[in-house]
Structure 1
Amino acid sequence: MKIAIVGAGVLGSIFGSLFVQKGFSVTLIEVLTERVHLIDKEGLWTQWPDGKRTHEHIAITSDVDSVGVQDVVMVAVKGYHTRSAIESALPMIGPDTTVLSVQNGLGNLEAIAEAVGPERVVGGITAHSGMPVSMNEIRYVGGQGPLLVIGPFDSVVRPGFEKMVKQFQDVGLDVHTTPDINSVIWKKLIANVSTNVVAALTGLTGSTAVHHQESVNIINALCEELAQVARAKGIDFPELQDPLAFSLKAFASTKDNKVSMLQDVEAGRPTEIGNLNEVIVSEGKRFKIPTPYNEAVSWLTRGIEARNRQKLSVVESASEPDVVRDAIKDENLDALRQALETSPLACALSIRFTEFEPGRATAKLPGTPQLPNFLGYTHTGALFTLAEQTMAAVANSLGHVGLPLSCDIEFLHAASPAKDVIATARVIDTQGRIARVQVELTQGEQVVASLSEMVFLRG
């Protein structure tokens, strides 16, 4: 079976890795050229819930015309990209192609059906998730229940649907079917609506939030409003009798991993609030059901999105030296490395790169007598300079000028000025013109500091 997965983010990469391991012909469709180049060159790494780490060579492209007609086109993009994604995927959709959505929220199946016809569309729900590690590595954290629950959008079982299900199940994938995919979507919506936005607004992970009474109170209010709206629409299933218990169980299962909406907020990306809480608000108005809690968290989330957009108001004028700008544009890493190492502060601290490639870099700060602060430890200013040099290297290694927007730094242990400090940086993910970079400083086996920076990629 030939499968194209539109969207090579965390979820799309998880399914891509699973499908390749089961012997299917898989092509990832991705608009971010940096991710396409890296996965095409180095393959895709996956960390599994049992601690294993696997590596797959998987086809990836941004040119859908080169892929050909597929048996299955899986849509795994954010809800606000659904219409553009399905329109771009049309060259891969033939008379017998099944289009399978594994997206969160409401409205995605309707948008896909408008483009390809309802008879081709299959809805899919998964409670499994993961997190990005780098542009070509993801951590699959598992989840509750089956890998997938799927059902035809129009409730009519056709040969293409039966063939797809049989092939999934024949290779041992835990795929279940349902005659009523709408109820299953609303079941997952309980947890998405009530917990994702709480995580995004508070920064809390599931393991902490479920024990924080004030957060539980908000979760309860959000899912109770959803339950009232669902019943008004004629939707009913057992979990609506105690939506709080269902939400807390689902949230707790994510443990210390950040849910997708929190990842979006921290990376400065738009969220899926429009396909989640705002839908409950609009449906509540239609049925004259008050939804003040869903309305309030929607307003707050839109405020965060506005704040992140303001961060992107970066002046487009360029003032870099021509030689540096040309090195970045041409992705000439040797020239860029030389420019970084010969900058005055890097020279003063003798910072040198030991590894430098697109999206990844390692640099060393040697121990010297000029490093101690008044307490005798390595000056945190020197540590930050090392981190910033390494961060700047990877942020400018993708063909764009990388300008920092925000940076979080956590100092974990004092460093000895007599010993070398090693900085390792990598681009975790990119979305449009935003990249997220992480840096870890180590001395021997001990982690000294960790940093996370959001970067604007200027053309």
Structure 2
Amino acid sequence: MNIAVIGAGALGCLFGGHLAVAGHDVWLLHRREQIANTLSAAGISIHRDDDPPLAAGINATATASDVGTADLVLVLVRAHQTPTALAEHAACIGPETLLLSLQNGLRNYDYLLDQVGRERAFCGVTYEAAITKEPGTIIHTSTGLTTFGGSSVGARTTIQETFAEAGFNVNTVTDPRPVIWEKGALVGATAPVLTLTGCPVTHLPTDPLDEVVTQLLTEADHVATSQGIDIDVETIQQTIASMTESHAEHRVSMVQDIEHGRRTEIDELNGVIIDLGKTADIAVPINKHVTALIHGVEQCS
């Protein structure tokens, strides 16, 4: 397949590198031409534990017209950047191109549906985790399940097989909204807490963090129910507990955004819960508090 990856950060390079090694024609799209040139020249090196690094030659560009028409576009920019990124890179999105988002955030599926319609839009979540040591050098901090969905069974199967052949554990569903909301609720309950406290992931199940996380999850559950979406809070809490081992060394992207003076994804997570809660007349005071505090940290970083 001819695959374009919008967003050449840690996950973009992780997925792009493995797909390239699997024999696909992969292009990474980065907004900064200098970094795109570095990636094209040096390729990608993916490091996992003590295993030999996975090296992949890769095409990278800041100009979508270099790619031509892609068969599949994988969207991995920050959630609030999605509408702009899709518009900027529309040159590689043709009348039959499939779009797949594996981003954090609760509105990405809507953004893709607006772009290409129901038959070609796919969205989901991934529990793969990685960080960028330097452009092109990726530390694969933990592996996990990737789940996505969309209405076209044939296209869904093609994407699943493509990712599975590249070594990823992939599951598909027809309606991706429940898995999107479960991951969104998890990230919205943990990332702001870790960012505001400076605590590592291993502290999440301990008091007083656990109480705040539970309150954030409960509010998210009430709002999801108002949208006709069922999420399993107990399962999310179990996932958080397991993260203390599987993601113990991982630093969440919200922390990294603050450290680099970047805007966080808070408005696409907790901010969506606030907006929908207001529409449904559901009180979400804890989500309001952590969102306001993260905005304050953004202003001061």
Q: TM-score range by the shorter chain?
A: over 0.9
Partner of 1:101: 101
TM-score, normalization: structure 1? 0.62
For residues 292 and 252 of structure 1, do their structure 2 counterparts lie closer, same or farther at Cα, with a shift above 3 Å needed? Answer: farther
Structure 1 letter corresponding to 2:261: G
Contact kept, 8 Å, 2:120 with 2:152, in 1: the verdict is: no
User: Following TM superposition, by how much is the alpha carbon of 1:196 offset from its aligned partner in structure 2, in angstroms?
Assistant: 0.7
SS class of match (1:77): coil
- The yes-or-no answer on 1:291 pairing with 2:289 is no
The structural deviation recorded for 1:159 is 3.5
Question: Who is 1:167 aligned against?
Answer: 162
* In structure 2, distance between residues paired with 1:164 and 1:243: 26
Describe how 1:419-430 pairs up with structure 2 within 5 A. Answer: none
In structure 2, distance between residues paired with 1:143 and 1:248: 16
Q: What are the within-5 Å matches in structure 2 for residues 183-194 of structure 1?
A: 183-194=178-189
1:206 is aligned to 201
Per the alignment, residue 234 of structure 1 pairs with 228
Q: Is the 8 A contact 2:18 2:166 kept in 1?
A: no
| Higher Cα radius of gyration | 1
Q: Secondary structure at the match of 2:96?
A: strand
The percentage of counterpart residues that share the same residue type is 30
- Contact map agreement 2:99 2:121 (CA 8 A) in 1: yes
- Quick one: which amino acid aligns to residue 121 of structure 1? A
Structure with bigger helix share is 2
3-state SS, counterpart of residue 204 of structure 1: coil
* Number of aligned residue pairs: 301
- Aligned residue for 1:4, secondary structure, equals strand
1:151 maps to what in 2? Answer: 149
Q: Contact 1:168/1:175 (CA < 8 Å) preserved in 2?
A: yes
Pick closer, same or farther for the CA change 1:124–1:244 going to 2, 3 Å.
closer
Deviation for aligned residue 1:33: 2.2
Report the equivalent of 2:217: 223
Structure 1 match to 2:270: 277
Query: Any unmatched runs of 5+ in structure 1?
Result: 309-459
Q: Is the 8 A contact 1:193 1:276 kept in 2?
A: yes
TM-score (norm 2): 0.94
Contact 2:141 2:249 in 1 (8 A): no
Distance 1:251 1:226, change over 3 A: farther
Cα shift at 1:171: 5.2
Distance 1:264 1:172, change over 3 A: closer
Q: Secondary structure at the match of 1:100?
A: strand
Alignment CA distance shift 1:294-1:132 (3 Å): same
Q: How does 1:46-445 map to 2 (within 5 A)?
A: 46-144=46-144, 146=145, 148-152=146-150, 156-170=151-165, 172-207=167-202, 209-210=203-204, 212-237=206-231, 239-241=232-234, 243-250=236-243, 252-308=245-301
Shift of 1:253: 2.8
C-alpha contact (below 8 Å) 2:19/2:166 kept by paired residues: no
Secondary structure of 1:268's aligned partner: coil
Q: Deviations over 1:212-231 (max 9, x none)?
A: 41112211111111112222
| Greater RCO structure (CA 8 Å; 6+ sep) | 2
CA displacement, residues 222-279 of structure 1 (integer Å, 9 cap, x when unaligned): 1111112222222224x23464333333455320221000110111100000111111
Tell me by how many angstroms 1:117 deviates: 2.3
Distance 1:278 1:171 in 2: 35
Q: Which amino acid aligns with 1:192?
A: V
CA RMSD in angstroms comes to: 1.8
C-alpha distance in structure 2 between counterparts of 1:50 and 1:190, whole Å? 33
Greater per-residue strand proportion? 1
- Structure 2 regions of 5+ residues with no counterpart? none
Cα distance in 2 between the residues matched to 1:169 and 1:15: 11
Deviations 1:402-452 (A, max 9, x none): xxxxxxxxxxxxxxxxxxxxxxxxxxxxxxxxxxxxxxxxxxxxxxxxxxx
Post-superposition Cα deviations, 1:4-63, rounded to whole Å, max 9, x if no partner, equal: 100101110110111112121111001112311221222212111454323221110111
